Amino acid sequence: MKKMRNTALAAALGAAAVAPVAGHAQTATPSAYVNAPLAAPVAPSRPHGHCGIFETCSSTKIGLGKGDFMIRLSAVGVLPEDRDSKVWLDGKALPGARIKTTNQVMPELTFEYFLTDNISLDLIATSTRHEVAGEGGALGGKTDVGSAWVLPPTITAAWHFRPHKRLNPYVGVGGTMMWFHNMNASGALGLTKLNSGFTGGPSINAGVDYQLVGNWFFNFDVKQMFVRMHAWAENGSETTKVRAHDSLDPTVVSAGIAYRF
């Protein structure tokens, strides 16, 4: 009996000695998970539909088509042709005399709206300053007449060959109205007053749009205008009067950047 009690006591003491070890083993295993390094955070995804102004995204419409509206800023060169000039002095024709007008480069603003995928209307707004001179015939060499600013609003209907394509060439027809303002006589030949009538005529053009990125486009355009100028100059007492007709017929070349809204 005594031997059995000793055996039971030894077993109890052994279990007590093993229990802390087991308990420690049970708590040690979960700690490995608690202390494990966390994974690097994942950057939040961009909201659906967002696209930067200088990005081409899946939502960006390729090319141009019905309903598109564009504003274009260009550098424009106005190159008068002076095809046919006639000059009169006090009502008498001066054989061989002609008018020459200088070229000019200025900024140009254009507004364009697409009525259909293929047809657009555009309006250009710019103003250029030109020097005017007379030469030949009784005038002899070059004689400075003066300077004038011209405002030639031009509206054009254009046919675009490749709607909804990055490269989209076009041709168009339209009309130009020319208003001459801030005219100043040079004082040559005693002439101190310079004036011109309001005039206009048809125009044709050809060009191309190319989509660069997002809604940004590059444009190159050439217009040929058919416009005559009627001008006259007088001295202060109006005793001397020079009158001139000139087929300006300017070629207008422009290149610029457009944004589609």
Residue 131 sits in a domain of what CATH number?
2.40.160.20
Is 44 inside any structural domain?
no
**pTM of this structure:** 0.74
Is 86 inside any structural domain?
yes
Domain that holds residue 222: 66-258
Nearest to 56 by CA among 215, 166, 249: 215
Is 203 inside any structural domain?
yes
Is 11 inside any structural domain?
no
SS3 (DSSP) at 30: helix
CA 59 vs CA 48, 69, 104, 138, 215: distances in Å: 10, 18, 41, 67, 11
Is 109 inside any structural domain?
yes
* Number of domains, the chain: 1
SS3 (DSSP) at 106: strand
Is 227 inside any structural domain?
yes
pLDDT tens series, the chain, 261 aa: 455 555 555 555 454 444 444 444 444 455 455 555 555 555 554 455 567 777 777 778 999 999 999 999 999 999 999 888 888 888 888 888 888 899 999 999 999 999 999 999 999 989 999 998 888 877 777 788 889 999 999 999 999 999 999 999 999 999 999 999 999 888 877 778 888 888 899 999 999 999 999 999 999 999 999 998 888 888 877 777 888 888 999 999 999 999 999
Instruction: Return the structure tokens found at 181.
Output: 């303002």
Is 251 inside any structural domain?
yes
Measured CA to CA, the distance from residue 37 to residue 34 in angstroms comes to: 9
Structural element, H or E, at residue 261: none
Is 155 inside any structural domain?
yes
Instruction: Return the structure tokens found at 39.
Output: 């994974």
Q: Is 173:224 a contact under the CB 8 Å cutoff?
A: no
